[in-house]
């Protein structure tokens, strides 16, 4: 037999929200990279099989993970500047370096499209979320 549940402290609730927010934020970043790879493959008629999409996305996903680690994104997952810019820079920069190092294409036009798309998605969703949360708080 168990007794009544202990009340949950405000700190415990804040940690739970942070954990859920971090997981959701990481998921959104991964989806953004997968959409980038999918759209690129579709545009260039490379096929949309899962292996092909992952083959295109993996260098950028590695960059995303490293960007999360360097920025400690789990602490402020929704911050567009302190988190979003770092995640974007690592996703794009390391992604391009890994593509180049493994024989993938790094044409200037591709690099610019990737820079823009990944910037709009990885920083953009955070800016929108921050705006929505600040309006709700007001």
Read off the pLDDT of residues 108-128 as tens digits, 9 standing for 90 and up.
999 999 999 999 999 999 999
Closest by alpha carbon to 32, among 78, 64, 62, 9? 64
What's the angle, vertex CA 48, arms to CA 45 and CA 49, rounded to 5?
A: 135
Average pLDDT over residues 72-87: 95
What span, in angstroms and rounded, lies between the C-alpha atoms of 79 and 91? 16
Model pLDDT, residue 6: 64
- Whether the per-residue pLDDT at 17 is higher than 90: the answer is no
Q: Mean pLDDT across the chain, nearest whole number?
A: 91
Average pLDDT over residues 38-60: 92
Residues of the chain with pLDDT > 70, as a percent, come to 90
- Whether the per-residue pLDDT at 9 is higher than 80: the answer is no
Quote the pTM value: 0.85
Report yes or no: 126 and 110 within 8 Å, Cβ to Cβ.
Answer: no
- Whether the per-residue pLDDT at 48 is higher than 90: the answer is no
Model pLDDT, residue 134: 87
Tell how many helices (H) and how many strands (E) occur in the chain: 5, 0
Model pLDDT, residue 20: 82
Sign of the dihedral defined by the CA atoms of residues 56, 119, 124, 63, in that order: positive
């Amino acid at each position: 037999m168990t007794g009544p549940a202990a009340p949950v402290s405000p700190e415990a609730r804040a940690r739970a929200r942070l954990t859920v927010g971090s997981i959701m934020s990481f998921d959104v970043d991964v989806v953004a990279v997968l959409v980038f790879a999918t759209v690129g493959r579709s545009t260039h008629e490379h096929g949309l099989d899962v292996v092909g999409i992952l083959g295109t996305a993996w260098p950028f996903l590695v960059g995303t993970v490293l960007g999360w680690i360097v920025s400690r994104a789990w602490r402020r997952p929704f911050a567009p500047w302190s988190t979003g810019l770092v995640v974007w820079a690592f996703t794009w920069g390391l992604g391009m370096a890994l593509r180049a190092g493994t024989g993938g294409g790094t044409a200037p036009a591709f690099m610019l499209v990737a820079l823009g798309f990944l910037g709009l998605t990885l920083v953009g969703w955070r800016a929108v979320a921050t705006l929505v949360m600040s309006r709700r708080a007001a």
